[in-house]
Amino acid sequence: MRSITVHEPSLSEYERLYGKYGRTLICPCRHLSVSYSSIIHLEAEYHQVCSSEFIDDNTWLSYFNMSIRSLFSLDFRMDGSKLFRILQSLCRLSNETVRNQLRVFSETEFINAHVVSRDTFDIQTSILIDQLRQQTLHSFLTMFQLVRVSIQLNQFIVLGNTNSQIKRYNNNGTLIWRSVPNNYYDSNCSCGQSVHCNRSQGFYRASRPNNLSVKDRPNQTIPGLV
Residue 88 lies in a domain: yes
Q: Which domain holds residue 147?
A: 30-154
Q: What is the largest CA-CA distance in the chain?
A: 102
| Per-residue pLDDT band at 155 (split at 50, 70, 90) | low
Does pLDDT of 132 surpass 80? yes
Determine the pLDDT at residue 162: 65
What burial letters (b/e) apply to 116-138, b meaning 16+ CB within 10 Å? eeeeeeeeeeeeeeeebeeebee
Does pLDDT of 15 surpass 70? yes
Determine the pLDDT at residue 157: 67
Three-state secondary structure call for residue 177: strand
Return the DSSP state at 139.
H
Query: How many angstroms separate the CA atoms of 213 and 210, rounded?
Result: 8
Residue type, 190: S
Residue 60 lies in a domain: yes
Task: Report in angstroms the alpha-carbon separations of 210 from 147, 184, 190, 204.
Answer: 33, 17, 24, 11
Q: What is the pLDDT of residues 182-226, one digit of tens each?
A: 666 566 776 666 767 777 788 887 666 667 777 778 888 888 776
Tally of domains within the chain = 1
Please provide the average confidence, as pLDDT, over all residues in the chain.
79
CA proximity to 110, closest of 98, 100, 124: 124
Residue 205 lies in a domain: no
- Rounded to 10 degrees, the C-alpha dihedral 98/102/104/110 comes to 150
**Are residues 52 and 129 in contact, defined by beta-carbon separation less than 8 angstroms?**
no
Query: How many angstroms separate the CA atoms of 47 and 183, rounded?
Result: 33
Crossing angle of helices 118-153/76-107, nearest 10°?
140
Query: How many angstroms separate the CA atoms of 119 and 201, rounded?
Result: 51
Least confident span in 156-165, 167-176, 201-210: 156-165
Q: What is the pLDDT of residues 21-56, one digit of tens each?
A: 777 777 787 888 888 888 888 888 888 888 787 776
Other beta carbons within 10 angstroms of residue 147's beta carbon come to 14
Q: What is the pTM of this model?
A: 0.68
Determine the pLDDT at residue 23: 73
Residue 126 lies in a domain: yes
